[in-house]
Structure 1
Amino acid sequence: MSTKKKVSPAKAEATSARRSRVVLGVTASIAAYRAADIASILTKSGIDVDVVLTREARKFVTPLTFAAITHRTVAIDDDEGTLGGKPSHLNLSDDADLVVIAPATANIIAEYAHGLAPEVLTSVLIATLAPVLIAPAMNGKMWEHPATKANVELLKSRGVEFIGPERGLLACGYEGIGRLWPVIGIAERIIEKLRDSRGKN
């Protein structure tokens, strides 16, 4: 009689994803605190999560929060240096299986679309060959602005995937589109993209 234990689908998913590495970029949105939940879900799924905080994002969340959740060093501009003979943003971009920006502001979308790299996060975006997933979060008027729409379409034409935003009550008090996509939905899409990527390799 066999004594081999059955492995649950959830456990199998976690095991297969254990060596995957995600760069999670966090920008200056009121929804920045929800990125901690994304990092937590991914870490518990056995995924290595390298968090990169923009300067302004640190006004909403701290590096310590993400370091405690992921058990990994958090990248910030103040300590940009070299690792293994390469600038740290190159190590992050080279090692990533997927780069995720959640939440993504109109500003980070614009910088990425136009090839600007004033911070570690934008440098990672410009340098990486990994797939990129963006979860926008901003005021509805900013999301609907022609400039933002043009930037989003430009990035989509380059293969960047967007998830959200959704419609609902915004931090500014208005009802409209611009809310960060539900955390569990973002995490599930990340895991799905990692699984699809492994299937192609």
Structure 2
Amino acid sequence: MTQKRILLAVSGSISAYKAADLTNELTKRGYAVDVLMTKNSQAFITPLTLQSLAKRPIHTDVMQESWPEKINHIELARDVDLFLIAPASANLIGKLANGIADDLVSTVALAVKTSVPKLIAPAMNTNMYQNPAVQQNLARLKTFGYEEIQPREALLACGDFGPGALANVEQILQRVTQTLTN
């Protein structure tokens, strides 16, 4: 049985620190996890933390070509079994819904084959999550084949209570397993 390959994209949200637990658990379960990080996500968690857990290089810059003979963002998108975005900020959701490719994550997202399952786990302030623009962008992403992992209702880092907290790591892991076995 070949090892399943997951592209994990981490965007700029206070929940980015949970990407460490997620990366660790996915790796422990035998998945090859290639982590993509936005610039903003690196303000919350370092690439070194995720590299230590994934035991693979972390990718942060669309202009950094790791393989001189290949195009980095195209190569990262090849032969992937699942594209997972956790956490997904309102900014990244908007970019993906509108085909904007101005960083590594959004560029790789466009290069991932449409047949590859895509899971997106939003994490943001309640008012941001409930904003019609964000909801419209999420609805549009669903038409592109993305499946949303609903955020939790919780006390958020900003002090507000409501939907917007990143789904629990266990819930994300269950969706990953379910998606890859279907």
SS at 2:7's partner residue?
strand
Q: Which residue of 1 aligns with 2:15?
A: 31
Q: Amino acid of the residue matched to residue 77 of structure 1?
A: D
Matched, 1:54 2:38: yes
Q: Which residue of 1 aligns with 2:154?
A: 168
1:126 to 99, 110, 115: 110
Residue correspondences, number: 180
Q: Amino acid of the residue matched to residue 77 of structure 2?
A: S
Q: Which runs of 5+ in 1 are unaligned?
A: 1-15, 197-201
The one-character-per-residue Cα deviations of 1:45-97 (angstroms, maximum 9, x if unpaired) are 11000001101111110110011101100001176215263221111111211
Q: Amino acid of the residue matched to residue 152 of structure 2?
A: E
Q: Amino acid of the residue matched to residue 152 of structure 1?
A: L
1:100 to 84, 88, 97: 84
1:66-81 matched pairs, under 5 angstroms: 66-77=50-61, 80-81=64-65
Asked if structure 2 preserves the Cα contact closer than 8 Å seen for 1:80 and 1:87, the reply is: no
CA distance in 1, matches of 2:121, 2:74: 23
Q: Which residue of 2 aligns with 1:90?
A: 74
Matched, 1:64 2:52: no
SS at 2:78's partner residue?
helix
Matched, 1:148 2:131: no
Q: Amino acid of the residue matched to residue 128 of structure 2?
A: M
Asked if structure 2 preserves the Cα contact closer than 8 Å seen for 1:22 and 1:50, the reply is: yes
Q: With structure 1 as the length reference, what TM-score do the two structures score?
A: 0.86
Structure that is richer in helix per residue: 1
SS at 1:23's partner residue?
strand
CA positional deviation for 1:124: 0.8
Q: With structure 2 as the length reference, what TM-score do the two structures score?
A: 0.95
Asked if structure 1 preserves the Cα contact closer than 8 Å seen for 2:62 and 2:73, the reply is: no
| More moved, 22-31 vs 73-82 | 73-82
Q: Which residue of 2 aligns with 1:157?
A: 143
Q: Amino acid of the residue matched to residue 160 of structure 1?
A: Y
